[in-house]
Amino acid sequence: MYNMFFVSKKVSGLSMETLNYYGYVLQRFFHEIQKDIKNIDTNDIRYYLAERAMRDNISKVTQDNELRVLKSFFNWQQEEGYLQHSPARKVAKIKQDYRIKKPYSEIELEKLRRETTNKRDLAIIDVLYSTGCRVSEIVKANREDIAGDELTVYGKGGKERVVYLNPKAILTLTEYINDREDDNEALFVHLRRPHSRLKKEGIESMICELGKRAGVKKAHPHRFRRTVATNALNRGMPMEEVQQLLGHNDIQTTSIYAKSTQENVKADHKKYVV
């Protein structure tokens, strides 16, 4: 029955990584509950999540993620007729706290830039900051995707879009590329031979390391994206354009950044004005 669930989910198009996560969550749940599937009730699920939150100190986001997996599993059992009722159906979604995530300040950005030790890392920072791309998009990018101040990137689902480089990014990127001696088509490659394509984890650890050295807390690539969005909205760029720039399918996603911009104004007002 377990296997049928995974097979069925696989057929419905879930990726292997998602299924691995499902497997991990379910295994943990059943190991702890020690009950037959038919005897599990709604309170078992509630209790399990509460227990895990207290003992393992997992966040609400994680609790909700695990609840979703359990729902997916038990609701499937019901739909297939293995269970009369899905015990997970009635468990309410776990409400999240809203957190303000800060963009980089100008000073933090400059500190990061100054800590770089080679042309590649500087170019990566400038490209991230001028385009607001996802790391995965930068990783997939090739040299030939650059045309003047335009960079064509491939977002989720292979969707293509054009992002724009500012003069600083064009300069540092050109310097980096002219300096290279390999013939890899990738836009960014390893510093050492055989100079293969840099992966997302490589960029992440590099940014993280720069953050430590520069004394910039919580430095990671995605924060550049947030910074671009927040700055653009703060400076009055229409939300539709910001949406296009970041490659969001749904403007709802963009409006989240707008909301956080408002929250930042409020927080800063408290801090500096009152």
Partner DNA sequence: CTCACACTTCACCAATGGTC
Partner DNA sequence: GACCATTGGTGAAGTGTGAG
90 contacts 117 by C-beta, under 8 angstroms? no
- Rounded to an integer, what distance in angstroms lies between the CA atom of residue 184 and that of residue 196? 7
Shortest Å distance, C-beta 38 to DNA: 20
Q: Which is nearer to DNA, 16 or 147 (CB)?
A: 16
Q: Is 156 a catalytic residue?
A: yes
Shortest Å distance, C-beta 118 to DNA: 8
Q: Which is nearer to DNA, 12 or 84 (CB)?
A: 12
Shortest Å distance, C-beta 167 to DNA: 26
Q: Which is nearer to DNA, 14 or 237 (CB)?
A: 14
CB atoms within 10 A of CB 187: 25
Catalytic residue, candidates 134, 140, 176, 223 = 134
Shortest Å distance, C-beta 199 to DNA: 3
- Rounded to an integer, what distance in angstroms lies between the CA atom of residue 133 and that of residue 154? 10
Q: Is 222 a catalytic residue?
A: yes
CA 192, 164, 169, 203 torsion-angle sign: negative
Sheet of 160-164: strands edge to edge?
A: 146-147, 150-154, 160-164
Q: Is 46 a catalytic residue?
A: no
Shortest Å distance, C-beta 99 to DNA: 6
Residue ranges that bind DNA, judged by CB under 7 A: 9, 12-15, 17-18, 21, 24, 56, 58-59, 61-62, 65, 68, 71-72, 75, 92-93, 99, 101, 117, 134-136, 156-157, 190-194, 196, 198-202, 204-206, 208, 218, 220-223, 246, 248-250, 252-253, 256
Q: Which is nearer to DNA, 111 or 134 (CB)?
A: 134
Q: Is 99 a catalytic residue?
A: no
Q: Which is nearer to DNA, 87 or 221 (CB)?
A: 221
Catalytic residue, candidates 22, 129, 176, 257 = 257
Q: Is 225 a catalytic residue?
A: yes
Catalytic residue, candidates 28, 143, 222, 226 = 222
Catalytic residue, candidates 60, 101, 156, 159 = 156
Q: Which residues are catalytic?
A: 134, 156, 222, 225, 248, 257
